[in-house]
Amino acid sequence: MGWIFEQNRPIYTQLLEQIQMRIVCGVYAPGERLPSVRELAQEAAVNPNTMQKALAELERTSLIYTQRTAGRFVTEDAALIRDCRRRLAMEKIEDFMKAMQELGYSREEILALMQQDQEMEERNEEVRV
Partner 1 sequence: MTPILECRDLSKSYDKGMRPALNHVNLKLQRGRIIGLLGPNGSGKTTLIKLANGLLSTKSGELLIDGKPVGIETRRIVSYLPERTYLNMGLTVMETIRFFKDFYEDFDEARAYEMLKSLHIDPGAKLKTLSKGTKEKVQLILVMSRNAQLYILDEPIGGVDPAARDYILNTIITNYNENATVLLSTHLIADVESVLDEVIFLRYGEVALHAPVDAIREENGKSVDALFREVFKC
* Interface contacts to partner 1, rule CB under 8 A: 1-2, 5, 7-13, 38, 41-42, 44-50, 53
Task: Give 31 or 71: the residue with its C-beta nearer to partner 1.
Answer: 71
50: buried, middle or exposed (CB in 10 Å: 19+, 13-18, 0-12)?
middle
Strand 71-74 and strand 64-67: the pairing is antiparallel
Q: Which is nearer to partner 1, 24 or 54 (CB)?
A: 54
Closest CB 64 distance from partner 1, rounded Å: 20
- Cβ at position 12, least distance to partner 1 in Å: 5
Q: For the CB of residue 103, give the shortest distance to partner 1 in the complex, in Å.
A: 24
| Shortest Cβ 101–partner 1 spacing (Å) | 23
Q: CB atoms < 10 A from the CB of 109, how many?
A: 13
From residue 42, alpha-carbon distances to 26, 36, 49, 50, 74 in Å are 21, 10, 12, 12, 20
For residues 125 and 129, give the distance between their C-alpha atoms in angstroms, rounded to a whole number: 6
Closer to partner 1 by Cβ: residue 45 or 89: 45
78-102 vs 11-24: helix axis angle to the nearest 10?
120
Q: Cβ closer to partner 1: 12 or 28? A: 12
